Structure 1
Amino acid sequence: MSYSVIVCDDSRFARQQLIRGLPAGLAREVLSACQGEEALQLLRAGKGELLFLDLNMPGLDGYQVLEAIRDEGLNVLVIVVSGDIQAQAHQRILELGALAFLQKPLNNSQLLHLLEQFGLMPAITDALIAPPLTSPHDFAPVSYQESLQEIVNIAMGQAARQLADLLNLFIHLPIPKVQLCTSHRLHRQVEEWLEMPGNMVVSQGFVGSSIAGECLIHFAEQDISRIAPLLGFNEQDELDRKSLLIELSSMLAGTLLLGLSDLLGLRFSRSHPALISLGSDSILAQQEQAQKILSVSLTYTIPAQQISCTLLLLLTDTSLSALERRLSLIAE
Structure 2
Amino acid sequence: MNDRSIDYYKVFLRYDIQRRTRLVIITKNILICDDSTLVHKAILRLLPEDDGLNLHYAEDGKAGLECLSQHNIDVMFLDLTMPVMDGFEVLRSLPVRDYDTKIIILSADVQKQAIKRCIELGADHFLAKPFAPEQFTTLLAELGITARSVDLSVHLAEQELDYISIFKEVANVALGRGAAIISDHFGEFIKMPLPNVAHMGVGELAMAITDIKNNGNSIAIAQRFVGGGIHGEALVCLRGKDIAVFGERLGFSQMDEHKNEIVIDIANLMVSSFLVALSEQMNIPFSVRQPIVLEEYMVWNETDDVTSELFTVEYTYHAESLDLECDVLFLMDSGSTQVISKIMDTLH
Give the alignment of 1:11-160 within 5 angstroms.
11-23=36-48, 28-70=53-95, 72-116=97-141, 119-122=142-145, 132-139=150-157, 140-160=159-179
Is 1:289–2:314 an aligned residue pair?
no
Does the 8 Å CA contact 2:54/2:148 hold for their aligned counterparts?
Answer: no
Residues 259 and 27 (structure 1), Cα distance of their counterparts in 2 relative to 1, 3 Å cut: farther
RMSD over aligned CA atoms reads 2.7
Residues 164 and 286 (structure 1), Cα distance of their counterparts in 2 relative to 1, 3 Å cut: farther
Aligned to 1:302: 319
In the TM superposition, what is the alpha-carbon distance from 1:121 to its structure 2 partner?
A: 4.6
Identical columns (%) = 26
**Distance of 1:279 and 1:107 partners within structure 2:** 50
Residues 81 and 58 (structure 1), Cα distance of their counterparts in 2 relative to 1, 3 Å cut: same
Does the 8 Å CA contact 1:28/1:132 hold for their aligned counterparts?
Answer: no
Residues 194 and 9 (structure 1), Cα distance of their counterparts in 2 relative to 1, 3 Å cut: same
Give the alignment of 1:196-211 within 5 angstroms.
196-197=215-216, 199-211=218-230
**Distance of 2:291 and 2:155 partners within structure 1:** 42
**Which AA in structure 1 matches 2:175?**
M
Aligned to 2:344: 327
In the TM superposition, what is the alpha-carbon distance from 1:194 to its structure 2 partner?
A: 2.6
Does the 8 Å CA contact 2:178/2:273 hold for their aligned counterparts?
Answer: yes
**Which AA in structure 1 matches 2:334?**
D
In the TM superposition, what is the alpha-carbon distance from 1:235 to its structure 2 partner?
A: 5.9
Aligned to 2:261: 243
Does the 8 Å CA contact 2:234/2:271 hold for their aligned counterparts?
Answer: yes
Is 1:213–2:236 an aligned residue pair?
no
Does the 8 Å CA contact 1:3/1:26 hold for their aligned counterparts?
Answer: no
Residues 90 and 42 (structure 1), Cα distance of their counterparts in 2 relative to 1, 3 Å cut: same
Is 1:9–2:34 an aligned residue pair?
yes
**Distance of 2:336 and 2:310 partners within structure 1:** 9
**Distance of 2:144 and 2:297 partners within structure 1:** 59
Is 1:271–2:296 an aligned residue pair?
no
In the TM superposition, what is the alpha-carbon distance from 1:293 to its structure 2 partner?
A: 0.8
Write out per-residue CA displacement over residues 287-312 of structure 1, whole angstroms, 9 at most, x where no aligned residue: 35352111211100012212110000
**Distance of 2:120 and 2:240 partners within structure 1:** 36
Residues 221 and 172 (structure 1), Cα distance of their counterparts in 2 relative to 1, 3 Å cut: closer
The secondary structure found in structure 2 opposite 1:160 is helix
**Distance of 2:242 and 2:63 partners within structure 1:** 36
Does the 8 Å CA contact 1:27/1:132 hold for their aligned counterparts?
Answer: no
The secondary structure found in structure 2 opposite 1:251 is helix
Aligned to 1:260: 278
| Larger Cα-atom Rg | 2
**Distance of 1:191 and 1:15 partners within structure 2:** 40
**Which AA in structure 1 matches 2:185?**
L
Residues 75 and 197 (structure 1), Cα distance of their counterparts in 2 relative to 1, 3 Å cut: same
Give the TM-score normalised by the residue count of structure 1: 0.86
**Distance of 2:273 and 2:302 partners within structure 1:** 24
Give the TM-score normalised by the residue count of structure 2: 0.83
Write out per-residue CA displacement over residues 62-108 of structure 1, whole angstroms, 9 at most, x where no aligned residue: 11212222354442111000011111110111111111110011211
* Of 181, 185, 190, the match for 2:209: 190
In the TM superposition, what is the alpha-carbon distance from 1:111 to its structure 2 partner?
A: 1.7
**Which AA in structure 2 matches 1:272?**
Q
Q: Which moved more, 1:7-16 or 1:40-49?
A: 40-49
Does the 8 Å CA contact 1:279/1:285 hold for their aligned counterparts?
Answer: no
**Which AA in structure 1 matches 2:314?**
S
Write out per-residue CA displacement over residues 119-162 of structure 1, whole angstroms, 9 at most, x where no aligned residue: 2255xxx5xx7864425332211122221221111101111111
The secondary structure found in structure 1 opposite 2:260 is helix
Is 1:230–2:249 an aligned residue pair?
yes
**Distance of 1:233 and 1:264 partners within structure 2:** 30
Runs of 5+ in structure 1 lacking a partner? none
Does the 8 Å CA contact 1:223/1:308 hold for their aligned counterparts?
Answer: no
In the TM superposition, what is the alpha-carbon distance from 1:280 to its structure 2 partner?
A: 4.4
